[in-house]
Amino acid sequence: MLDELKEQVYRANLALIENRLVTLTWGNVSGVDRSAGVMVIKPSGIDYRSMSPADMVAVSLDNGEPVDSQSLRPSSDAPTHLALYRAWSQIGGVAHTHSSRATTFAQAGRGIPCFGTTHADHFYGEVPVSRRLNEAEVAEDYELNTGRVIVERMKSLDVESMPAVLVADHGPFTWGPDANAAACNAIALEEVAAMAMGTMQINPSAMPLPRYIMDKHFRRKHGPDAYYGQQCRKDSF
């Protein structure tokens, strides 16, 4: 079972670089097996093109300690991923990138408005941006506090309807039922960020998509009455 999870997480990480969401080693995807109490994540600072499924690092969901004998260190963002898994039992995968357009919105401290149906197909409303971490949060347990700030920002939102957040000054995090879905949402997020940026440049007065259209497009792909499209699968990449 662990080998299967490592394979899935490996392929989801490759999807980030294949879709040009990662420069150098700036990004990671994780997946979780809750029955085993294990999270698998990309190792820290390893080039995507040289890694293999066996290089994926398994850590305890409870304490973040390695659970197998391999020597590679987990991504430095592992505490952020763990904070999200602990807060939201319904998610099974998390992705983090520094993709250029979504990160530009994060650096501007601005959410990504829902201007059209492409956005509404994936994200129910404006993609939110977190508050800026304070000096104390950065100085101690920075990565863990990043996760806490995400959880704080999402407190009033449904994490299944809005599987993404922008961390102010930092970049995007996405999630989903598994690692594949988290990577798919990262890909979609960068595309809708590009569309939103272009829309705002062409028409600075553009208004968000009306609620009734947003409802239609989101609900036809998500929830009990969905009838359009398929879930992101391991063979989607």
Asked whether the beta carbons of 123 and 189 are under 8 A apart, the reply is: yes
- d(C-alpha 237, C-alpha 172), whole Å: 20
Distances (CA, A) of 233 to 59, 126, 153, 180: 24, 25, 28, 6
Which residue is catalytic, options 3, 142, 215, 228? 228
Asked whether the beta carbons of 3 and 229 are under 8 A apart, the reply is: no
What is residue 167's three-state secondary structure?
A: strand
Distances (CA, A) of 40 to 7, 11, 47, 141: 10, 12, 17, 21
- Of 40, 21, 65, which Cα lies nearest the Cα of 174? 21
Question: For the CA atoms of 56, 75, 108, 136, what is the dihedral angle to 10 degrees?
Answer: 150
121 is catalytic: yes
225 is catalytic: no
Which residue is catalytic, options 10, 77, 85, 121? 121
Give catalytic residue positions: 121, 228
